[in-house]
Amino acid sequence: MIPTELRERLQRHGQDHLLAVYEKLTQPERANLLRELAMIDVAELQALHARREQKDALPERARIQPLPRPTIEEADCDDFFGRGEDAYYEGEMAFLIVAGGQGTRLGFDEPKGMFPIGPISKKSLFQLHAEKVLALTRRTGMRYPLLVMTSPATDEPTRKFFKRKNYFRLPPQDVWFFCQGTMPAVDLHAGRLLLEGPGRLCLSPNGHGGTITGLAESGILDQLEGRDVQTIYYFQVDNPLVNLADYLFVGRHLAQEAQVSSKVLPKTGPKEKVGNFLLLDGRCSMIEYSDLPDDWAHETDEQGQLKFWAGNPAIHLFDVEFLRELTTQADRMPWHLARKKVPHLDEAGHLVKPETENALKFERFIFDVLPQAERWTVLSTSREDEFAPVKNKEGVDSPESARAMMIAQHTRLLREAGIEVTEGIPVELSPLYAMDVEDIEETYKGDRRITRSTYLNEPMEFRKRTKW
């Protein structure tokens, strides 16, 4: 029997179709359905569904100011740099990859982090990120927790992949996985919970905003405090260009006692498909490209430059104590609604694969924590240096465009180090070989001219298995 309280709750909130479904299930299927329903707030779902025709509420224009273009006084640069360097050399950093997304657009069967992105090496996104952390460890002698946020669909394959690959030679005890929460999908018209199989609801990851509760519920915030980690370096699994060794970014964040800091990217046009940084009531905030009204998007200043110029590459620093404070009020983070095609069982129990959008999914976004911060900093970066998202199968923001950007960046670094690279020749630097021009100058012993496809891997003496 379905417990009376649950039965009444389902009836009250438009989910009584599940009562009929329940009757037809086997015992284990029933147990599963009850377990999943116990974690769901059906009243909240009903209220969210009622908002389906509304766009996310837009604040009045008068409350909004463009984000000032960040500048750093020359005189402060050295101080900030030194402060950041100290944080790395004292092991006060942890790195956080968000890798719980479904990667629908890429259409890769495995978790996106397993995608072979290296232009020559074919190494995976996970390997690339892990090697950046290992390179930092080799440089500073310090160990850094690498936090990997997964979701129910990516958790097991991700853990197995890291294990199979020997944690890319990071200390296994420093790679901390945690699984984000889920939210159910509901039918677009009636708001009814959908089933993906007998006794199984259609559940999907609760958005990268799920990081906050995920970190707290997994106990990772406590562990970080136990290791005296003050700053979390947050980035997305699908950005192979992310620079994890940014002393200036970290140093300024710390020097100004910021709770959150973000990299910002000058937009390529008014309607570019990236989130828009701006000030809301004086605080750093973000509006998604789809929510930015056309007339705002085209506003320009006296110099004719876009007022809403600052795009979001999703690279942030979070103060651990600030995250702790946030977790006490994480339930206040808003839910964003998205219309999706969600395969599900119909009333007769047959699988339906919809051709048009039939369902609502709900996600929290990490950037909704920005306005909670009283103290924050932003630092400008460029696509060439730090942002090559792998989103689509082909074309814009695809593996092909990301690989081309990796090759271009590595060519640039080699040339800056005085090595000639023939135009059009692919080159790739392992992070374990070099992270910047100085590393190349120190390590590069080869011919001063590179004329054929070249992968510069870590020096032989380091390649043996690292023991921790």
Residues making contact with ligand UTP (CB under 6 A)? 98-105, 112, 149, 151, 180, 205-208, 210, 236-238, 363, 391
Cα distances from 418 to residues 134, 205, 430, 444, 457, in angstroms, run 26, 47, 18, 10, 19
Find the shortest distance in angstroms from Cβ 150 to ligand UTP: 8
Find the shortest distance in angstroms from Cβ 194 to ligand UTP: 18
Question: Of 104, 101, 83, which is closest to residue 93 (Cα–Cα)?
Answer: 83
d(CA 346, CA 426): 51
Nearer to ligand UTP, 207 or 431 (CB): 207
d(CA 159, CA 164): 9
Nearer to ligand UTP, 216 or 427 (CB): 216
Side-chain half-sphere of 159: how many Cα atoms within 13 Å? 12
d(CA 360, CA 336): 10
Find the shortest distance in angstroms from Cβ 128 to ligand UTP: 13
Report whether 93 contacts 250 (CB < 8 A): yes
For residue 87 the two structure tokens come to 């944080």
In one letter, which amino acid is 451? T
Find the shortest distance in angstroms from Cβ 180 to ligand UTP: 6
Find the shortest distance in angstroms from Cβ 270 to ligand UTP: 21
- Positive or negative: CA dihedral 50, 54, 60, 65: positive
Find the shortest distance in angstroms from Cβ 316 to ligand UTP: 12
For residue 215 the two structure tokens come to 């970190």
Report whether 341 contacts 354 (CB < 8 A): yes
Nearer to ligand UTP, 36 or 86 (CB): 36
Minimal CB distance to ligand UTP: which residue? 101
List, in sequence order, the alpha helices (H) in 247-382.
247-255, 294-298, 320-327
Report whether 346 contacts 354 (CB < 8 A): no
Nearer to ligand UTP, 101 or 184 (CB): 101
Nearer to ligand UTP, 83 or 112 (CB): 112
Helix (H, G, I), strand (E, B) or coil at 333: coil
Nearer to ligand UTP, 312 or 381 (CB): 312
Find the shortest distance in angstroms from Cβ 397 to ligand UTP: 9
Find the shortest distance in angstroms from Cβ 385 to ligand UTP: 19
Which DSSP symbol is given to 26?
A: -
Nearer to ligand UTP, 37 or 149 (CB): 149
In one letter, which amino acid is 111? P
Between helix 74-89 and helix 125-140 the angle, nearest 10°, is: 90
Nearer to ligand UTP, 372 or 398 (CB): 398
Which DSSP symbol is given to 204?
A: E
d(CA 458, CA 442): 13
Helix, strand, coil tally for the chain in percent (to 5):
40, 20, 40
Find the shortest distance in angstroms from Cβ 177 to ligand UTP: 12
d(CA 207, CA 221): 19
Find the shortest distance in angstroms from Cβ 58 to ligand UTP: 21
Find the shortest distance in angstroms from Cβ 183 to ligand UTP: 9
Question: Of 293, 310, 466, which is closest to residue 381 (Cα–Cα)?
Answer: 310
Phi-psi region of 64 (alpha: psi -120 to 50; beta: other; left: phi over 0): beta
Nearer to ligand UTP, 82 or 181 (CB): 181
Nearer to ligand UTP, 124 or 206 (CB): 206
d(CA 405, CA 24): 54
Name the β-bridge partners of 454: 427
Nearer to ligand UTP, 98 or 265 (CB): 98
384 Cβ partners below 8 Å, 6+ apart?
405, 408, 409, 412
Find the shortest distance in angstroms from Cβ 113 to ligand UTP: 8
